[in-house]
Amino acid sequence: MVNKPNAMALVVVTLYASGASADAADMFSLSSFGTVGIVHSSEKRADFTSSIFKPNGAGHSRNWSADVDSLIGAQLTATVTPQLSAVVQVISEQRYDNSYRPFVEWANIKYQFTPDFNARIGRTVLPTFLVSDTRKVGYTLPWVRAPMEVYSLMPISSSDGIDGSYRFRVDEITNTVQAHYGQTDSRQPDGAGKALTRNFWGITNTTELDALTARITYMKADLTLEQFNSLFDTFREFGPEGIAIADRYDSDDTPVDFFGVGASYDPGDWFVMSEWGRLDSRSGLGRTSAWYISGGYRIEAFTPYVTYARSKTETEVSSPGLTLSALPPVLAGTAAELNGALNTVLGSNEGQQTLSLGVRWDFTKNMDAKVQFDHTRFKGNSVGPLINPQPDFTSGGSLNVISLAVDFVF
How many structural domains are present in the chain? 1
- Name which of 309, 330, 314, 332 is nearest 322 in CA terms: 332
Task: Tell me what pLDDT residue 353 has.
Answer: 97
Do the domain assignments include residue 44?
Answer: yes
Do the domain assignments include residue 349?
Answer: yes
Termini Cα distance of the chain: 21
Do the domain assignments include residue 400?
Answer: yes
- Bridge partners of 65, per DSSP, are 39
Do the domain assignments include residue 5?
Answer: no
- Residue 58 domain boundaries: 22-409
- Name which of 385, 358, 305 is nearest 65 in CA terms: 385
Task: Tell me what pLDDT residue 6 has.
Answer: 40
Task: Tell me what pLDDT residue 396 has.
Answer: 86
Do the domain assignments include residue 113?
Answer: yes
Q: At what angle do helices 239-249 and 226-236 cross, to 10 degrees?
A: 160
Residues in the chain where the model's pLDDT stays below 50 = 1-22
Using CA atoms, how far apart are residues 91 and 73, in angstroms rounded to an integer? 4
Do the domain assignments include residue 118?
Answer: yes
- Tell me the torsion sign for CA atoms 297, 301, 304, 310: positive
Over residues 151-162, the pLDDT tens digits come to: 999 989 999 999
Q: How far is CA 87 from the centre of its chain?
A: 21
Do the domain assignments include residue 99?
Answer: yes
Q: What are phi and psi of 348, to 5 degrees?
A: -65, -25
Q: What are phi and psi of 391, to 5 degrees?
A: -55, -30
Residue 33, domain CATH: 2.40.160.10
Using CA atoms, how far apart are residues 220 and 198, in angstroms rounded to an integer? 9
Rounded to the nearest 5 degrees, what angle is found at the Cα of 133, between the Cα atoms of 406 and 114? 140
State how far the alpha carbon of 126 is from the alpha carbons of 71, 129, 177, 329, in Å.
Answer: 20, 8, 13, 50
Q: At what angle do helices 239-249 and 329-347 cross, to 10 degrees?
A: 10
Rounded to the nearest 5 degrees, what angle is found at the Cα of 253, between the Cα atoms of 249 and 257? 80
Do the domain assignments include residue 4?
Answer: no
- Bridge partners of 228, per DSSP, are none
Residues 55 and 29: beta-carbon distance below 8 Å:
no
Using CA atoms, how far apart are residues 318 and 247, in angstroms rounded to an integer? 16
Task: Tell me what pLDDT residue 25 has.
Answer: 64
Task: Tell me what pLDDT residue 344 has.
Answer: 87
State how far the alpha carbon of 9 is from the alpha carbons of 75, 84, 173, in Å.
Answer: 11, 19, 21
